[in-house]
C-alpha cells in the first residue's frame, strides 16, 4: 500500500512576522505595552502556536474559555 500524500503548506517567515507584529499591536491597544521577550512562534502542519510572556506586573489570563 502506498503512503498517503500529505499536502502541507507551512506559513512563510514573512507571514509569521506579520502575525506577530499584529498581535503585539493588538496587545498595546489593550494597554499591554511591554512584552518580556519576542513572541515565540511554533508553526506546524495543522496549527500555529504563539507564546507570549508579559513583562513583570502584567496580569496573566489563566483561561479564555
| Domain spans, the chain | 13-51
Distance between CA atoms of residues 46 and 9, nearest Å: 9
pLDDT of residue 54: 73
Residue 22 confidence (pLDDT): 87
Q: In whole angstroms, give the CA distance from residue 32 to residue 58.
A: 7
What pLDDT does 52 receive?
A: 75
Closest among 65, 64, 58 to 27, alpha carbons compared: 58
The pLDDT of residue 23 is: 82
Each residue's pLDDT tens digit, 7-63: 666 778 888 788 878 888 888 888 776 666 555 666 666 677 777 777 777 776 666
CB 52 within 8 A of CB 23: yes
Amino acid at each position: 500500500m502506498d503512503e498517503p500524500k500529505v499536502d502541507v503548506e507551512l506559513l512563510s517567515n514573512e507571514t509569521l512576522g506579520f502575525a506577530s507584529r499584529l498581535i503585539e499591536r493588538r496587545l498595546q491597544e489593550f494597554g499591554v505595552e511591554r512584552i518580556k521577550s519576542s513572541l515565540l512562534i511554533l508553526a506546524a502542519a495543522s496549527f500555529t502556536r504563539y507564546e507570549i510572556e508579559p513583562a513583570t506586573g502584567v496580569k496573566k489570563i489563566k483561561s479564555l474559555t
